[in-house]
Amino acid sequence: MPGTRKHPRQAHPRRNASIVATGMYLPERVLTNAELEKLVDTTDEWIQTRTGIKERRIAAEGEFTSDLGAKAALDAMHEGGIFADEIDLIIVATCTADTIFPSTACRIQQKIGAKKAAAFDIQAACSGFLYGLIVAEQFVASHVYETVLVIGAEKLSSIVNWKDRNTCVLFGDGAGAVIIRNRAEGHGILASDMGADGSQSDILSLPSSGCAIPVSEAVIQEGLQYLQMSGKEVYKHAVTAMNSSAEKTLARAGLKGSDIALVVPHQANLRIIETLAQKLKTDMDHCYVNIGRYGNMSAACIPVALHEASKEGRLKAGDNVLMVAFGGGLTWASVALEW
């Protein structure tokens, strides 16, 4: 009607986003340090002393990242009593996608039957799962989606040079998943931080993995299709970035290190975790560590650790949890949440 004033529709107030279920999947094959001694010039003592790793899981030849991720997703869905048609969005963090496109998320959507879900991949290397978790929070908090599935899945054995003793001893395959929803009785994600430093991109990279260095006979001869890492530089940047990010997130959440019931760090190196614990003024008893069993599973590390910690009774309702990661890019991220 003329003269009638239309009022804009009021936006919904932001709501919390909580982890309501977790899941994981690990390949059956266990590769021990003793077996690696037969492949490269290394020893069990050398590996354990410098990394804390005793063994890792290796996916079967015909088992791909989407297979690992789909099984972790189904595990989380079973735990949460959530059906495939309830999932609105699938976010997959991986640096070992089945293919550049279609995305691994689309492949997982088909494998779990989540026909209604949008799906995309996030690539932030070892920080990828936390990047994905932070993105998922925005969709739930803003009322765009009700149920978001976040997966960290990797088949790192496919990009490791098994003749390079400095890298092949570090990595393993696996997948972890969480389901994000609003939960009225809890606070869920309290605060987060993300960061990147592209000037340090060359110290941890996969050179021939895109259009810059297409695969060729020369590339293969140089081994550029394999993961490249400058270990000392990565270590130095990892400790600084993870500690700085964790402190920012704690400050934003109004928490101190002593308020955290459990720190769930990226499982790259036991020494990095120990140094991080010292800087956060906490002890290793308050850090979840499974690197000895699985090695570095990149984006899968934190969701697998979360699932195991939950199953072991180390996470109780109301606990404050701090997750923090660092990866190639360079990238880093941290998230504080109430369990």
List average pLDDT for each run of 10 residues in the chain, which is 339 residues long. 52 90 98 96 96 98 97 98 98 97 98 98 98 98 98 98 94 98 91 96 92 92 92 90 97 95 97 94 96 98 98 96 97 97
Backbone angles phi, psi at 276, to 5 degrees: -60, -45
Of 152, 181, 210, the domain-final residue: 181
- Active-site residue 266, yes or no? yes
Verify that 223 and 319 share a domain, yes or no: yes
Tens of pLDDT, residues 9-31: 556 788 999 999 999 999 999 99
Helix %, strand %, coil % of the chain (to 5)? 40, 25, 40
Q: CA dist 109 to 173, 217, 303, 334, Å?
A: 20, 35, 19, 27
CA distance linking residue 153 with residue 174, whole number of Å: 6
pLDDT of residue 1: 46
CA distance linking residue 52 with residue 256, whole number of Å: 28
Catalytic residue selected from 296, 301, 307, 320: 296
What sign for the dihedral angle of Cα 305, 306, 309, 311? negative
Of 181, 209, 235, the domain-final residue: 181
pLDDT of residue 4: 52
- Active-site residue 126, yes or no? yes
Catalytic residue selected from 33, 106, 266, 287: 266
Tokens of 20: 């309501």
What CATH number is associated with residue 143?
Answer: 3.40.47.10
Evaluate whether residue 216 is within a structural domain.
yes
Verify that 40 and 155 share a domain, yes or no: yes
Q: What is the pTM of this model?
A: 0.95
Catalytic residue selected from 95, 106, 126, 168: 126
Verify that 211 and 268 share a domain, yes or no: yes
pLDDT of residue 185: 83
Q: Per the structure, how many domains does the chain have? A: 2
pLDDT of residue 117: 98
